[in-house]
Amino acid sequence: MLTIAIIRQERDQLVEDYKRRNLDVAELLDQVLELDELRRATQKDLDGLLAQSNEISKKIGELFKSGQHEEGNALRKESAGDKDAIAALKDQMNATEEQITQVLYQIPNRPHSSVPQGKSDEDNEEINRHGDIPSLYAGAVPHWDLASKYNLIDFELGVKITGAGFPVYRGKGARLQRALINFFLDEARDAGYEEFIPPHLVNQASGIGTGQLPDKEGQMYHAVADDLYLIPTAEVPLTNIFRDVILRKEDFPIKLCGYTPCFRREAGSYGKDVRGLNRLHQFDKVEIVQLQHPELSYSTLDQMVAHVQGLLKKLNLPYRTLRLCGGDLGFAAALTFDLEVFSAAQKRWLEVSSVSNFETFQTNRLKCRFKNKEGKTELAHSLNGSALALPRILAALLENNQFEGGIRIPEVLVPYCGFDTIEG
RNA sequence: GGAGACGUGGCAGAGUGGUCGAAUGCGGCGGUCUUGAAAACCGUUGUACCGCGAGGUACCGGGGGUUCGAAUCCCUCCGUCUCCGCCA
């Protein structure tokens, strides 16, 4: 969420910047400014009335204390009149603040200066590629065929138990999942991230804190009876650890990681690209999160991208790095790098990680601040990235490493799996 | 789920209608002393908003109410603890 201070100071520049998101925010910003004027004027009036009322109350107290009851009672009657005016101004204050919040909720994060103009994922900027795309043998098949051929994943069984998008992993498929989770967590720990196991359901305040609510209400599973939401990513509980927290600048950088299942309704997605593991309602992911000093957050972003690239290198998966254009950038992000691996049997790139700097967008909602050099509180920067999401990694691993007699397991995973080949 | 107790500043813990944004202790920060450190002593130490400033306003779990005035009384929600029940 943008701060009102920024809108007041940089209104014109903001309008310019949001054009790269293909958004015209002029009207929204002006609404905020107008409401803010009203709010300040109202507070001025309200504070004045309250000050008066406080003073009279104090006087009455003193009169009664010194035994001057008649004078006290006279004053009491006199002061009763302001109550309605005070109540009316309070109502107006609250209503105006609420309106400001509602407008601010509609405005996505300001794109970083390096974010290219663009409409869709086709305009994303490819930054680099790494690894050779394997040439598969003639009988190579996509991962959904491999999954059933080697009895690794049962999609139909998931449909029976729950519904589409909830696969059942079994046997070596299940063990491979667990191996990947442990591998990713160990790598994160080696990189200095503290491991957490957070709750998988969160309250509304947490959803608002990281930006899922109210913007993406329909994308989360909602347990209505208890008004809790199933997390779409570990980012939500992990980042919300720092809601309403004032850090010391020595605390930076704060590095956390955690494995959780992720639940996404994927409302509105349909048809192609949803086959097999490509798009699921429940999937596993290891997430890395950092809170950082504003001056350092972009070098931190680069480090996080490098960490994810390191994972892909160790898994020997060909990947490319994209800088998302304004049109593809998420609501809360200022800058995002996507990592995609090449799925050799589907012959296409699959997004496996999204690493973002949210600058103060989340921390403003979270009220996560630190004491700066001048001793003043200042909003921290928050960042996160998938390191990594499992399903598409698994898809690419199965497809890229298949041979006539089975599937080879990448060397780094063998100690985690306890097997080096999947065969019929 | 039932019964009871409680929710105050970084922590501990006073405060039951007025001068309380809140005693005191601990912790933190600055200083004196010291070769240095510790101890001792002195000072300082919540957050947000409005205002050029002086200063003002709000906040004692959240929300609402009573009152001229609420940390204090009432209602409600949330949470914690103890006992009972149930249970991995």
- Domain residue extents for chain A: 4-104, 121-423
* Token pair recorded at residue A205: 């305040």
Q: Are A308 and A334 in contact (CB under 8 A)?
A: no
Name, in order, each residue with C-beta under 8 angstroms of A86's C-beta and a sequence gap of 6 or more.
A46, A49, A50, A53
**CB-to-strand B under 7 Å, chain A 315-374:** 369, 371
Whole-prediction pTM: 0.93
At position A153, the amino acid (one-letter code) is I
- Alpha helices per DSSP H over A19-68: 26-65
A254 CA to B35 C1' distance (Å): 39
A343 strand-pairing partners: A348
A324/A340 Cα distance (integer angstroms): 12
Question: What per-residue confidence (pLDDT) applies to A109?
Answer: 97
Is ipTM beyond 0.85? yes
β-strand pairing of A381-389 with A282-292: antiparallel
Nearest residue to A2 via CA among A155, A148, A105: A105
Q: Please give the sequence-ordered ranges of beta strands (E in DSSP) within A193-281, or none if there are none.
A: 194-196, 201-202, 222-223, 228-230, 246-248, 254-263
Cβ A6 to strand B below 7 Å: no
- In terms of CATH, what superfamily is A121-423? Bira Bifunctional Protein; Domain 2 (3.30.930.10)
Residues in A 270-289 whose C-beta is less than 7 A from nucleic strand B are: none
- Listed as ranges, residues in chain A with pLDDT below 50 are none
Residue type, A382: S
8 A C-beta contact, residue A336 and residue A108: no
Cis peptide before A415 (omega within 30 of 0): no
Phi, psi of A209 (to 5 degrees): -55, -40
* Distance of C1' in B72 from CA in A76, Å: 21
Q: Tell me if A288 sits within 8 A of A193, measured CB to CB.
A: yes
Angle separating helix axes A69-79 and A26-65, nearest 10 degrees: 160
Q: Which positions on strand B lie below 7 Å from a protein C-beta?
A: 18-19, 47-51, 55-58, 64, 67-69
Q: Say if residues A15 and A29 touch (Cβ distance below 8 Å).
A: yes
- Nucleic strand B near CB of residue A38 (< 7 Å): no
Phi, psi of A417 (to 5 degrees): -80, -40
Cα A73 → chain centroid: 58
Distance A63 CA to B19 C1' (A): 12
Q: Which of residues 64-103 of A touch strand B (CB under 7 A)?
A: 64-65, 72, 76, 79-80, 83, 94
Specify the residue for token string 């005016």.
A85
Strand B and A48 CB separated by under 7 Å: yes
Whether A50 CB is under 7 Å from strand B: yes
DSSP 8-class letter at A422? E
Amino acid A269: pLDDT = 67
Look up residue A118 and give its two tokens: 């663009």
- Å between CA of A81 and C1' of B16: 29
Separation of CA A207 and C1' B84 in angstroms?
37
* Best CATH choice for the domain A4-104 from the list 3.40.50.720, 1.10.287.40, 2.170.8.10, 3.40.50.360: 1.10.287.40
CA–C1' gap, A419 and B42, in angstroms: 70
- A80 CA – B12 C1', rounded, Å: 41
The shares of helix, strand and coil residues in chain A, as percent rounded to the nearest 5, are 45, 20, 30
Nucleotide whose C1' lies closest to the alpha carbon of residue A79: B68
Asked if the Cβ of residue A44 lies within 7 A of any atom of strand B, the reply is yes
Residues 6 or more apart in contact with residue A290 via CB below 8 angstroms: A253, A254, A255, A256, A300, A304, A382, A383, A384
Q: Give the CA A372 to C1' B38 distance in Å.
A: 31
Query: Which phi-psi region, left, alpha or beta, contains residue A242 (left: φ > 0; alpha: ψ -120 to 50)?
Result: alpha
CB-count burial class (<10 Å; 0-12, 13-18, 19+) for A384 = buried
Q: What is the dihedral of CA A120, A124, A130, A132, to 10 degrees?
A: 40
A377 touches strand B (CB under 7 A): yes
Q: What is the pLDDT of residue A375?
A: 81
User: How far is residue A17's CA from residue A12's CA, in Å, rounded to a whole number?
Assistant: 9
Q: What is the pLDDT of residue A155?
A: 96
